[in-house]
Amino acid sequence: MAIAPGVSAQDWAATLEGFAAAVGKDWVFTSEEDLALYKDAYSPFWGEPEEKHASAAVAPQSAEEVQAVMRIANKYRIPIYPISTGRNLGYGGSAPVLSGSVVLDLKRMNRVLEINEKNAYALVEPGVSYFDLYREIQKRGLKLWIDCPDPGWGSLIGNALDHGGGYTTHMYRVHFDAHCGMEVVLADGTIMRTGMGALPGAKTWQQYKFGYGPWIDGMFSQSNFGVVTKMGFWLMPEPEAYLSGTVTVFKHDDLIPMVDILNELENNGIYNGMPFFGSPLQGPLEPGEQLRNPMAPGVQALFAKAGGPTPADFEAYCAANNIGYWAVKLQYYGPPEVIRAQWNYSKKKFSAIPGVKLEDGELLTMPLTEEQKKKVHGVAFGIPSLQIFFIGTRSESNPTPGLGHIWFSPIIPRDGKSIFEAQKVFGNAAREMGLGALNPLQLPGTYWQRAFIFIFGFPITHDPAVNKKNREAFEKLVKICADHGWGEYRTAPAYMDAIADVYSFNNHALMRFHERVKDAIDPNGIISAGRYGIWPKHLRKA
Ligand SMILES: Cc1cc2nc3c(=O)[nH]c(=O)nc-3n(C[C@H](O)[C@H](O)[C@H](O)COP(=O)(O)OP(=O)(O)OC[C@H]3O[C@@H](n4cnc5c(N)ncnc54)[C@H](O)[C@@H]3O)c2cc1C
């Protein structure tokens, strides 16, 4: 049987006994078979000694049981790694950062504690998945939407705590921003509520975020300062209608005014959905479609050109074939007369770009029929699914699918020139590191309203030599990004230290602050050692 690092056999036996007394022996896992489930299926250390593993797992059913587990762990100095649903694929799965930690699996705490339709919020436990909340809303016939990430099997709490994002309006798709109030169990077993929750009998825990005094909720995201046992989320009232529209431009540099105009519309609140940027050269501008279908033979021929295609090549192809170079699909939510006016005003602004093409999409009124639900991009309508996993399946455009990937996801400024600079920098770096040519038509994502995010999937293989090369390339890219003033928003355990290291203003003043907080509230350093580069004192490197 594995033992947590730094723990004597005697203390380990007492710990497991204590856990069994706290949660029931059926919910303490120590067999190799059970623990294999807590490995990261997309581990970049696949099969190597550094591959992260758990020494045990414990699955409480209530906040009181979490408190009991934390008291035992604190007494015996057992490293604990809390997960909600543990489906953090691409960013570490459910594996602990410090190998040998005990995974505190909160999946059994899966109660939807409250849904308030009038004020549009829900209070949930960590094990509540997007599917669970969606089904509960449907079952009760409430006129509320959730905002979900691509895979619907994850949890509202785990996703928000790792700064995840979704697809509806910006008020809801930035999941941590959309939360209101949390309950946290600290390392010594103390239970605490944030915001209005600190007021016994508060009537507005899920309605007013800040409570009284410093707002500390952010400290529990991407950190290791506590175990979150409840969290409130604001939900989107079902809109009356949805309208899309597509803006297409034909020259390479048209992307610059296109982004500027969109920013103005978004920052003024005239545009409220998630913009979806792409190049029509790669196929229809629908999420997923460009990955599902191979590009037209003429575009493939340009990609095959020695030295790669230039913007002039693409522009000539666009002119000859009447195809746009860049496009953005816009999505509006609201009453039909309002969203039609918003789209009309947007068209007026975009018509400043010479040669621009503006196409009206279909206006859909809510609720969608079952037939419509099958046709639309579900997550843009708050409908959870697992459809995104098609990206890893065999298809005509992907004849040799990989075994998973680690996301490399730097944040860059929200303007067209920065996109071009990033494409150049990443393209050069990929070539130099022997990673192959980067797609010069790839555009960034728009989860966050004020910044772009480039998302690249670094493939995982079961060949240690290839994984090693990819790990080195990943770390090099982190430094290259930092040299350009770009930083990653989130990462997997394998890269948490490397990325923390580049957030180094004033001799790592921010990390030193995190460490002081860690030492004060978790002096035995038991919670999620090493998460986002924050190590407890006894494991801290100089
Ligand atoms: C193909 C693909 C597409 C994806 N698309 C998206 C997307 O659109 N948007 C997106 O955001 N992500 C996306 N992801 C990443 C990831 O799968 C999701 O974010 C997923 O929701 C995270 O898993 P989870 O909700 O189970 O979180 P968990 O794995 O439960 O939690 C994540 C981490 O947060 C911490 N944590 C969790 N719960 C607690 C707690 N209660 N207390 C303290 N700490 C805690 C832990 O350190 C844990 O490792 C995608 C991944 C893949 C492979």
Q: Give the tens place of pLDDT for each residue, 259-285.
A: 999 999 999 999 999 999 999 999 988
3-class secondary structure, 153: coil
For residue range 4-40, what is the model confidence (pLDDT) as tens digits?
A: 899 999 999 999 999 999 999 999 999 999 999 999 9
Ligand 1 atom with the smallest distance to the CA of 528 is 47
HSE-CB for 492 with a 13 A CA cutoff: 30
**Does ligand 1 have an atom closer than 6 angstroms to the CB of 86?**
yes
Tell me if residue 512 falls in helix, strand or coil: helix
pLDDT, tens digit, for every residue of 449-483? 999 999 999 999 999 999 999 999 999 999 999 99
User: d(Cα 158, Cα 181) in Å, to the nearest integer?
Assistant: 15
**Minimum-distance ligand 1 atom for the alpha carbon of 229:** 41
Catalytically active residues are 91, 489-490
Q: Is the CB of 126 under 6 A from ligand 1?
A: yes
185 C-alpha vs ligand 1 centroid, how far in Å? 20
Mutation pick for ligand 1 pocket among 80, 130, 150 (CB with most ligand atoms within 8 Å): 150
Predicted pLDDT at 396: 74
Residue with tokens 């390479």: 252
Residues in contact with 505: Cβ distance below 8 Å, sequence separation at least 6, in sequence order: none
313 and 302 Cβ atoms separated by less than 8 Å? yes
> How, if at all, do strands 112-116 and 191-193 pair?
unpaired
The closest-lying atom of ligand 1 relative to the alpha carbon of residue 164 is: 11
CA distance 450 to 415: 10
Would you say the CB of residue 149 lies under 6 angstroms from ligand 1?
A: yes
Amino acid at 233: F
Roughly what angle, to the nearest 10 degrees, separates helices 416-432 and 464-483? 140
Q: Which atom of ligand 1 is nearest to the CA of 106?
A: 41
**Prediction pTM value:** 0.97
CA dihedral 144, 109, 390, 383 (to 10 degrees): -10
Q: Return the closest-CA partner of residue 440 out of 214, 245, 247, 281.
A: 281
Q: Is the pLDDT of residue 233 over 80?
A: yes
Residues in the chain: 542
Candidate of 111, 159, 448, 489 to mutate for ligand 1, largest count of ligand atoms within 8 Å of Cβ = 159
CA–centroid distance, 324 to ligand 1, in Å, is 35
Average pLDDT for residues 133-148, to the nearest whole number? 98
Would you state the pLDDT for residue 401?
Answer: 81
User: 184-222: per-residue pLDDT in tens?
Assistant: 999 999 999 999 999 999 999 999 999 999 999 999 999
Measured in angstroms, how far is the CA atom of residue 482 from the centroid of ligand 1?
A: 24
Is the pLDDT score of 542 beyond 70?
no
pLDDT greater at residue 42 or residue 437: 42
Query: What's the alpha-carbon Rg for the chain, to the nearest Å?
Result: 24
388 Cβ inside 6 Å of ligand 1: yes
Residue 501: the pLDDT is 97
Condensed to tens digits (0 to 9), the pLDDT of residues 149-178 reads 999 999 999 999 999 999 999 999 999 999
Alpha helices, DSSP H, located in 322-381: 336-350, 370-375
d(CA 160, CA 231): 10
Task: Please name which of 87, 89, 85 lies closest in space to residue 59, comparing C-alpha atoms.
Answer: 85
Other beta carbons within 10 angstroms of residue 361's beta carbon come to 15
Distances from the Cα of 226 to the Cαs of 161, 189, 223, 373, in angstroms? 11, 9, 8, 39
> 161 CA to middle of ligand 1, Å?
8
| SS3 label, residue 248 | strand
Looking at residue 10, its amino acid is Q
Mean pLDDT for 345-357 is 98
How far, in Å, CA of 396 to CA of 92, rounded? 29
d(CA 292, CA 491): 26
Using the predicted structure, report yes or no on whether residue 513 has a pLDDT greater than 70.
Answer: yes
> Does ligand 1 come within 6 angstroms of the Cβ of 228?
yes
Res 142 pLDDT > 90: yes
Q: Which two tokens stand for residue 497?
A: 């230290």
Paired sense of beta strands 101-105 and 80-83, if any: parallel
